[in-house]
Chains A and B, each alone.
Chain A
Amino acid sequence: MSEDQYLIEMKGIVKRFPGVLALDHVNFQLKAGEIHMLLGENGAGKSTLIKVLSGAHQLDEGEIFIEGKKVQFNSPQDPLDLGLRFIYQEVNLVPELDIARNMFLGIEPMKRGLIDTKKLYSETEKYLMKFHIDLKPRAIVGDLSVTQQKLVEIARALVTDAKVLVLDEPTDVLEDRSRQDLFESIQDLKNHNNVGFIYISHRYQEVHDLGDRVTILRDGKNAGVYNICDITLDEMIEKMIGQSVEKQYPHLNKPQDEEVLRLENIRQGKKLNGVTLSVKRGEIVSVTGLMGAGKTELARAVCGIDPVDSGKVFIEGKEIDFSSPIKSIEGGMAYLSEDRKGLGLILPHSIMDNYGLPNSPRLSTYGLVNKKQIDKEICEYMEALKVKAPSKHTKAGQLSGGNQQKAVIAKWLGTQSKVLLFDEPTRGIDIIGRSGVYSLMNELLDQGIGILMLTSDYTEALEMGHKVVVLYHGQIKKVFERGEATEEDILRAAIGTH
């Protein structure tokens, strides 16, 4: 391969969806052995570009060259045959099957023309160990948390000898240690196997730390290609949004003294070993920890999705029944799930109808829904959160990943419950959208609402929490007051050394 030959070259790519020009003559080049970042706001066209490359979408115009040869992808099989591997933004696993079968889906090890089941399971075991995933190869994927599913999917992309690895927001729900594992594997494959990487992320620090080059997209068009060593983090973000950034995190308002939520001794098998914590009116309590420490388990238990062995939940001092989701909602709680595709949105319905789902009871009189009010509220939220969509009637399934997340947030912010449980609220949301989410959260605090925020992003936990609770093996390891801890401190508590 000559010096100036690209591993992948995409020229003049155009992709239209009904009413949307998602990609407008986009060019993109990837060299062997480079980590190429793809950066852009929510809805800029990043995922669409890689789906065109993977054959998941058919392109309308343009050409693709792999190692200098022009290719035409008619099905997802074709790029796989050429050594391209993809991790899509949304989890792509078969929930009914176990980890091993998912990990080797379509690439099962064969022996004399037959499936080599033994090797399938032993190889899976090996890769799970390598990535510190404490799960059995026979565990059913549908029973795993979104984070665990994501790790399985990452491991799956790494099991074969790939020439090119494409990762669309692989770290959006991963905490530090899992991210470090991933980065190590990436560096290893880059240095030893000369693999080329296309990497999409809204965690801009990691984009800057990990990447060699960056291609920036804005509104479906190219907005520059840079060597990352030639550009600062702030400049990079500025190029992406077309303006300089203000402060991202708002100044948090002071909480009141009165308690709005108290959890007492929540226990659930081996997952939760007696969690006790409280949230005051107007207070945000961040909860963080490693994968499997019990963040999502805690939220699901308190919201009545999974039953607990023992424990009590008090709202405004009154004990509530939390044995089912309906009871929890009636008790005054709202739960924003980390699993937006599975639990957060009805994808074939419009943004507005999704918003109406939990909010119509509040907005109806005598059983009649006040459509005008719903209309007005969703428009306000879409404006505040910078949801990029043709209209409020756009189907949720047609939004980009980050914009779907914004729609979920709007839906739950609207419920005006006394307590909001937010699980990875800013997952996949770009920098401007995050500011919008944070300032809306801050406004809610003024109304006396308490927020329990579960996050794997330590910066977010610190900046947006009056308190940071660190979980470790289903127990509270440490509670930091605001301004008391650094990310280091959190990590140390999270891995159990403190």
Chain B
Amino acid sequence: MKLSNLTDTQKNMLKGMQSLIGLFFIYILFMLLSPTFRSFDTFKTILTQSTILGAMAAGTTIVIIAGGLDLSIGSIMALVAVVIGSMLTAGVPVVVAIFSGLIVGVLCGFINGAIIQYTGIPSFIGTLGMMKAYRGIAEIMASGKDMSAFPDSFGKIGSGYFIPISIMLACFLFVGFFLKKTKPGYNSFAIGGNTEVSRLAGIPIKKYNILFYSMGGIFAAIGALIQSSRLDFVQSTWGNGMELNAIAAVIIGGTSMSGGIGGVGRTVIGVLIINTLNAGLSHLGVGSSWQRISIGIVIILAVWFDTIQRKKEGKA
């Protein structure tokens, strides 16, 4: 009953707050538990470790709000990395290699979108298929090649704190702007909420959806860019499971899996929660298996809280 006294804007803000409060809680908990966690360096490290997942989850946010799902971004990341890696080792100029990588990302996303829109198969199936296919292509392209020791100028992109964090922030800001201010972005919420209603309102559903998947591809490519630059080598096994981490970040943030509700601000928080958990637990000396278990639990808790709240609201 109390909730109904709030205005709708306040309610919306409250929803965004929920995961933010969760993040603060987790952060403070680790600060109390681990002395080494209490430093600005840790904070910077968490942010830097968030960059790759952050960039990719930014794209996933759009796809999920529009009611879709993209399981292939991990494989796209690997494919793009292999493309960039082989071009760089072949002596192609850095700018050209980066640009080609981004193009490959867009193309992969575009193919995903086109397949789903023109065959009418569910996005889960379509992108599951392409996840396998892109991975295979990456493996074929990478086999027998040693892709490492790239030019220094390429290494700058992912090194240190400043540049990668700025790239991630730019991704988030761009997606935020896209969702709030551009027509396709604005309409992605309606498409995810009810496709038929959107179609009858004259929204070009197919065109927009293909655009959303293409954007997902670009952000996967940006992830590949940061990672290959940071590590100074490339492997076709990269990105395995990354798509699920990106989906987890989006969901933990509070974007609805069934589409129509959400935002990129929530994804920022979701990404930070995941990486704070990982960092905090390793500060406490907890192994990676336990990190996975705790993230699993957080996913369930986050969605559960969301469900409870929605039920309450429905009744209020």
Contact = CB atoms under 8 A, between A and B. Distances in A.
B132 interface: no
Chain A contact residues: helix, strand, loop or mixed: loop
B163 to A, nearest CB: 29
Given A96-B189, A114-B181, A106 B8 contact: no
B190 A98 contact: no
Nearest to B12: A138
Nearest to B199: A76
Contacts of A88: 200
Nearest to B4: A269
A98 B190 CA distance: 10
Given A76-B201, A76-B202, A77-B204, A94 B194 contact: yes
B153 interface: no
A108 B316 CA distance: 30
A96 B310 CA distance: 11
Contacts of A307: 315
Residue among B192, B200, B314 with the highest chain A CB neighbour number at 10 A = B200
A162 to B, nearest CB: 13
Nearest to A81: B202
Given A76-B202, A106-B187, A117 B180 contact: yes
B182 interface: yes
A101 B189 contact: yes
> Interface size for chain B: under 10, 10 to 19, 20 to 34, or 35 or more residues?
20 to 34
Contacts of B200: 54, 56, 76, 86, 88, 92
B186 A97 contact: no
Contacts of B181: 114-115, 117
A80 interface: yes
B1 interface: yes
Given A54-B200, A94-B198, A115-B181, A105 B7 contact: no
Contacts of B113: none
A105 B203 contact: yes
Contacts of B196: 92
B183 interface: yes
Contacts of A105: 187, 190, 197-198, 201, 203
A139 B200 CA distance: 22
Interface in A77-110: 77, 80-81, 86, 88, 92-98, 101-102, 105-108, 110
Given A101-B189, A110-B183, A307-B315, A138 B197 contact: no
B155 interface: no
Residue among B1, B194, B259, B315 with the highest chain A CB neighbour number at 10 A = B194
A80 B256 CA distance: 30
Nearest to B204: A77
Nearest to A95: B193
A106 B198 contact: yes
A130 interface: no
Interface in B1-24: 1, 4, 7-9
Q: Top 8 nearest A-B pairs by Cβ distance?
A: A96-B260, A106-B201, A94-B193, A96-B193, A138-B8, A80-B202, A77-B202, A105-B201
Interface of B: 1, 4, 7-9, 180-183, 186-187, 189-190, 192-194, 196-204, 256, 259-261, 313-316
Interface of A: 54, 56, 75-77, 80-81, 86, 88, 92-98, 101-102, 105-108, 110, 114-115, 117, 136, 138-140, 143, 269, 306-307, 309
16 contacts: A75-B202, A94-B190, A94-B194, A94-B198, A95-B194, A96-B256, A96-B259, A96-B260, A97-B190, A97-B193, A106-B201, A115-B180, A117-B180, A140-B8, A143-B314, A269-B4
Given A92-B197, A117-B180, A309-B1, 5 more contacts: A75-B202, A80-B202, A101-B186, A136-B7, A269-B316
